[in-house]
Chains A and B, each alone.
Chain A
């Protein structure tokens, strides 16, 4: 009996020592879309090559995106977006650095959907603003994904809309974020 117990303890200790769960997760395929829904026009930009890092031990979450990698249905809109509004030559990247404030509510190894809130700083067009967004963490068969939807005012980021197109561009833009993470092996 004692031998069996020692064997079980030894195996458990071995497993504990050598099988540590990853704490950092990463994706290079995060999907970020924005939608401007104005009276005369809906404008959607899609970027599915954003990077994101998630640390489940601290709740730290970061996103970075290349502004030139947003794709639009119409080429003219894409050119105006880059040249006139976000000035992507001057400000090529946007990023969010924040924390999932209730990360301890998420059971990272138990399948389920967990409502979360992230707060942090969004930097775009050379302007940094505090942002809070609600979202959802999904754990399924060991895979972790995150979704969030929030609105920003583009005037907060020193992006001005000429009066001639004010019926085509909404100052309030909806941002949708979807990230499917995998363990980071850096």
Chain B
């Protein structure tokens, strides 16, 4: 019985996929400008606070870019060029409704900062769930 349970757990672990971000509660709710400023002010401190956390971020859509592998929405970080780079699945129906310059809320996993703060596995948060 223990062996069967062990094998079952091993198989489950091996094939386990990442949890759907939509199902995860946000650890942090923050504006895009505040999140961007947190990283530019002190990246080490921001890493300690936000890295691999589920972040719900609200901001103005500065750019939307779709390519073969996914969709990137850039939320304005307040400096005109950089901000929060949010990676979404092409299958996300909510993305099709997003318009440039509109204010939206996105939930994703913070993986750090390059020139933008990068969130992966993002989903759009509907207005009634903010």
Contact = CB atoms under 8 A, between A and B. Distances in A.
Interface of A: 28-29, 31, 46, 48-51, 64-66, 68-69, 71, 73-76, 78, 92-93, 180, 185-186
Contacts of B29: none
B118 A49 contact: yes
A29 B52 contact: no
B105 interface: no
Given A69-B120, A76-B13, A51 B115 contact: yes
Contact of B115 (A28, A69, A74): A28
A74 B16 contact: yes
B8 interface: no
B45 to A, nearest CB: 14
Given A28-B72, A28-B74, A186-B81, A74 B67 contact: no
A66 B114 contact: yes
A65 B114 contact: yes
B20 to A, nearest CB: 12
B59 interface: no
Nearest to A184: B81
B29 to A, nearest CB: 21
B72 A51 contact: no
A65 B87 CA distance: 14
Contacts of B65: 29
A28 B83 CA distance: 11
B16 A49 contact: no
A51 B111 CA distance: 14
Contact of B16 (A51, A69, A75): A75
Given A48-B87, A74-B15, A74-B17, A28 B69 contact: no
Contact of A93 (B18, B52, B67, B114): B114
A28 B17 contact: no
B15 A49 contact: no
B51 interface: yes
Given A28-B116, A49-B120, A76-B16, A69 B81 contact: no
Nearest to B69: A48
Interface in B7-44: 13-19
Given A28-B85, A73-B17, A186-B81, A66 B72 contact: no
A65 B81 CA distance: 18
A97 to B, nearest CB: 14
Interface in B79-130: 81, 85, 87, 111-116, 118, 120-121
